[in-house]
Structure 1
Amino acid sequence: MKSIRIGGVPEHFNLPWHLCIEENEFNKEEINVIWKDFPDGTGAMNQALRSGEIDAAVILTEGVTRDIINGNPAKIVQNYIGSPLVWGIHVAADSKYKNLEDLRNTKAAISREGSGSQLMAYVNAQNNGWNIEDLKFKIVTDVEGAVKSLKEDKAQYFMWEHFTTKPLVDNHTFRLIADCPTPWPCFVIAVREEVLKYNAERIQKMLEILNTKTSTFKNIPEIDKILAERYDQKIEDIRNWLKITSWSDSQLRENELDEVQEKLRQLKLIPKKVRNSEILHSL
């Protein structure tokens, strides 16, 4: 049985993968999917793709697009979450900062260079008319690092997925200042080129199994309760999240990728736009 190593964040978006693994749906087709959690997100997954530690990743669209343009030998093979990701902009609960304008010229906590938390800080700055060249960052590795950094005022705000971070708002560790949705579908599946060269059929079969699961995921009996229990969320938050979240089995559209590339270029995060065929791969 051939193994495929997949990386992803330990968040509710990826429960369909875990259900397929737990229910042996991949194994039935002689595919051994080995999942690895990356709590520190996109930057770490890009590094793991580059090193060959993983074969594929469920990864933020803008983060992997930027890294592919900058030399990551991988391709986007399909969309995964077709809806935007809602990034919450958080400060410490007792922070003096009350609104977005208060955060101008302060320091953002980010998981690492090239992470979604860094890229979206640029998007948020541009949305609010801030000078992106004035942005300052503090690398904190993960959410726990962000908690410590904001508490000690080593950074002043932290951007992370709204619902994943909501328990920290509810327990008064963080305070939510605002939300910043991505302007495009948020998660894609990227695969190393070497894996696509030699195992494209196996990757395609794996995705067929996954896409069958995601197409009926919201109809699983008591899926809201299952998600709430497994990811330590309030059931009303999960229900709100399910309303605004949709899974996708199609390839990222050319116009969507154009928008991602143009935004990255405007923010000076890539030197230039490239042909979409250098980023996308159709199975």
Structure 2
Amino acid sequence: MKTIRIAGVPEHFNLPWHLSIDNNEFEKENINLQWTDIPEGTGKLCQMLRNNETDIAVILTEGIVKDIVAGNPSKIVQVYVESPLIWGIHVAARSRYKKLSELENTKVAISRPGSGSQLMAYVNAGNQGWDTQKLEFVTINTIGGAVEALTNGTADYFMWERFMTKPLVDNGTFRRIADCPTPWPCFVIAVTDKLLESDPKIVRKILKIINERTKVFKEIPHIDITLSDNYHQKIKDIREWLSLTKWSQKQLSEEMLNNVQNQLLTLSIIDKKGTFAEIVKS
């Protein structure tokens, strides 16, 4: 049996992986798929791919595109979630800020440099016509760190997936003042060049298994209750999230990659564009 390491965020998007692992679907193909939850998010996942600490990452599209252009020896092998990620823009419940426009030139809490929370702060600033050169970041590592930073005032706002952060809005820790959807599919599956070169067949097997799971994921009996219980979400929020979320079984298109890179280039997140062959495994 071959051991393959995979990592991703501990969020509801990744429940299909856990169900397939628990159901021994990978084991039946002689694959010991070892999942690691990474609450720090995309920046940490990029680092793990670079350092050979994981073979596969389920990762934000903009984050891995940026890092592959910067030299990460990995490739995108497939889109995982086709729908946009809806980033909630949050302030502390007692913050003096009430409107998005008031957050210009304030401090942004980010999980770590290169993370989705940082990249989407640039996207949001670009959408608002703010000077992205004036963005100031405070690294907080995890959502717990964001709670601390916003509550004590070391940071002013925090962008994170809207539904995962909703319990903190409901309990009066955060107040959400706006949303910022990604202008591209939110999650892709990235694999190290090392694994792609040494065992492309096993990568294809893994993709086949997870694609079969995601095709029918929404049809699983009581999946809304399972998600609600596992991720401590209100059932009505889970049902709304399910209605908005669309998994994919297809590769990232050249057109969409160009769209992502053009926006990252415009926002000075990357200083050059990579080729389709450098970023995507066709």
TM superposition score category, shorter chain reference: over 0.9
Distance 2:221 2:108 in 1: 40
Aligned residues with identical type, % of pairs? 59
Tell me the SS of whatever aligns to 1:216. Answer: helix
| Unaligned runs of at least 5 residues, structure 1 | none
Report the equivalent of 2:192.
192
Q: Hey, what's the Cα distance between the residues in 1 that align with 2:140 and 2:230?
A: 25
State the alpha-carbon separation in 2 of the partners of residues 273 and 64 from structure 1: 13
Partners of 2:213 and 2:243 in 1: CA distance = 18
Give 1:163 shift: 0.2
Amino acid at match of 1:19: L
Q: Which residue of 2 aligns with 1:276?
A: 276
1:221 is matched with which residue? 221
- 1:88 corresponding residue in structure 2: 88
Give, in whole Å, the separation in 2 of the partners of 1:253 and 1:275.
Answer: 12
State the shift of 1:270 in Å.
1.0
1:14 aligns with 2:23: no
Q: Deviations over 1:155-198 (max 9, x none)?
A: 00000000000000000000001000000000000000010001
Structure-1 residue corresponding to 2:131: 131
RMSD, aligned CA: 0.5
- In the TM superposition, what is the alpha-carbon distance from 1:274 to its structure 2 partner? 1.8
TM-score (norm 1): 0.99
Query: Aligned residue for 1:261?
Result: 261
Q: Which runs of 4+ in 1 moved over 6 A?
A: none
Correspondence for 1:167: 167
Report the alpha carbon displacement of residue 260 of structure 1 after superposing the two structures with TM: 0.6
Secondary structure of the 2:199 match is helix
CA distance in 2, matches of 1:197, 1:272: 26
Shift of 1:256: 0.8
Amino acid at match of 1:261: Q
Partners of 2:216 and 2:117 lie apart in 1 by: 30
1:27 aligns with 2:12: no
Q: Does 1:203 align with 2:203?
A: yes
Aligned equivalents of 2:244 and 2:203: distance in 1?
A: 28
Indicate the SS of the match to 2:88. Answer: strand
Q: Deviations over 1:47-102 (max 9, x none)?
A: 00000000010000000000000010000000000000000000000000001011
Measure how far apart 1:118 and its partner are. 0.1
Cα deviation, residue 272, structure 1: 1.1
How far the C-alpha of 1:25 sits from its partner, in A, is: 0.5
CA shift for structure 1 position 152: 0.7
1:253: Cα distance to partner?
1.1
1:117-128 counterparts in 2 under 5 A? 117-128=117-128
**Who is 1:43 aligned against?**
43
Deviation at 1:271, TM superposition (A): 1.2
**Offset of residue 273 of structure 1:** 1.1
In structure 1, the residue matched to 2:112 is 112
- Partner SS state of residue 20, structure 2: helix
> What secondary structure sits across from 2:270 in the alignment?
coil
Is there any run of 5+ residues in structure 2 with no aligned partner, and where? none
Q: Which residue of structure 2 lines up, in the alignment, with residue 243 of structure 1?
A: 243
